[in-house]
Amino acid sequence: MNRFLPIKLKSALLVLLSAVFIFFSSQIMGAILISVLGKILGYSTDAITNGIESNDLVRFIMILFIETITVWLVFMVLQSQKSNLQSIGLTAKIKFSYLLEAIKGYGIYILIFLAVFVFVSKVGLINTDQAQELGFKNPTGVGLLLAFISLVILPPIAEEILFRGYLYQRLKLSINSKIAAIITSALFATAHLELGSASTPNWAAALDTFILSFVLIYLTNKTKSLYSSIFLHAIKNFIAFVTLFVLK
């Protein structure tokens, strides 16, 4: 059995590197596409940069590019492995029970989140009041709709396909499922540290998403489908969206 261990570890490492490549490539390609589009429309580099930072429409288009590229890259990687999206939990039929499980999962997430954050806050390990950078400042009108699509619809689909779908489902074929869950959650949390936008790493957002990831994985395993985790991710983002932009 030992002689097969290196092969499994190599497979796991390949999956991990592929997921990291997909994540960063989609970010880079999305930024390049929005820059090229801006140049075609006659905008300067400074105007494009300012648009990404402050214009709701530009921000929406870039997020649409990034999330679409993410799903496309996962699809291409799966095709190269003679597999498909169904193999990572995107079954043809969406059941109402997936939504019910997602609602239950949100309750589980909230309980764990509150317990962990109360403890962390009391011992002073991290700044739990640090706000997450969402890319939209104070959207109104059409901007509010664009922010809704950018935060509540697109990321739950693309991120679940990449992290709980491709990364976790493929990792657990080669290594212990608990270790696969830890690696997936750690990488998901790292992706939310906001290293490129914040002056200091956003440890509060990272811890939040680390907790969320375990609940998302729990739902994926329980329902044998990725839809339940997509629904939970969307519910979580929707509540944050309403809290920050609607009930402000």
Q: 177: how many CB neighbours lie within 10 A of its CB?
A: 14
Domain range annotation of the chain: 2-246
pTM: 0.94
- pLDDT reported for residue 1: 44
d(CA 207, CA 195): 14
Burial of 160 (0-12, 13-18, 19+ CB in 10 A): buried
Segment 171-189 shows an average pLDDT of 96
**DSSP symbols for 26-39:** HHHHHHHHHHHHHH
Q: What is the pLDDT of residues 88-108, one digit of tens each?
A: 999 878 999 999 999 999 999
- pLDDT reported for residue 217: 98
CB 244 within 8 A of CB 134: yes
Which of 130-134, 162-166, 200-204 bottoms out in mean pLDDT, i.e. has the lowest?
130-134
Q: What is the pLDDT of residues 191-223, one digit of tens each?
A: 999 876 556 889 999 999 999 999 999 999 999
Q: What is the pLDDT of residues 8-51, one digit of tens each?
A: 888 999 999 999 999 999 999 999 999 999 999 999 999 999 99
Nearest by Cα to 203 from 119, 132, 113: 132
Segment 158-184 shows an average pLDDT of 96
Q: CA triplet 98, 102, 107: central angle to 5 degrees? A: 150
